[in-house]
Structure 1
């Protein structure tokens, strides 16, 4: 369905959702669902849950050289 084919009541409903997304509980429920899923994975000591807990990559990416955010990267010279 294209935007020009929407009826007036559908368009008004869409505008209220866009103007106030918390009114329709769009993002809040999604955040709670993700948090509950991660907590469940951590609780059962799943590999994915532990990777989330440690702050590492979860989906099988290589981590030797990429994604070094917040960690020490190089070696300082001896003076």
Structure 2
């Protein structure tokens, strides 16, 4: 641990600036693709106290956390990664940051190209996951009952 006067307000891990004033577990959730449970696993495997302030960690602790973030997909079961079966390679992957956003966008474009049900729903801007659409998710002019004027 470093003295409190040496608090780093931003800690950079995996091309993401993390809030140095937060505890390690919460700060790691600032990386897109890492939730609370994954952050807990990463911090424990790095040997860092999950409640320690992120900005007070030494450089070796931050390096250990970054190493564990990169090794996360290999160290957890297949069902804990955010991409259990990659469409192109067939291997389990865990994507972070902009890679996750791009992969999601590519998946949606692939569905649109295949003209599958979900792809067509995405194209038309409709709900995709089976939600009801009779009353919610409307767009355009407001249509409904108008109040009676006295």
TM range (shorter): 0.5 to 0.7
Number of matched residues?
65
1:72 paired with 2:141, answer: yes
Report which of the two has the higher share of helix: 1
Tell me which of 46, 49, 74 is aligned to 2:116: 46
More RCO (CA 8 Å, sep 6+)? 2
Shift of the alpha carbon at 1:32? Answer: 0.8
Cα distance in structure 1, aligned partners of 2:96 and 2:116: 28
Return 5+ residue gaps in structure 2 as ranges. 1-43, 67-94
TM-score, with length taken from structure 1:
0.64
Report which of the two has the higher share of strand: 2
- The runs of at least 4 aligned residues of structure 1 exceeding 3 Å deviation read none
Return 5+ residue gaps in structure 1 as ranges. 16-24
Cα distance in structure 1, aligned partners of 2:145 and 2:50: 58
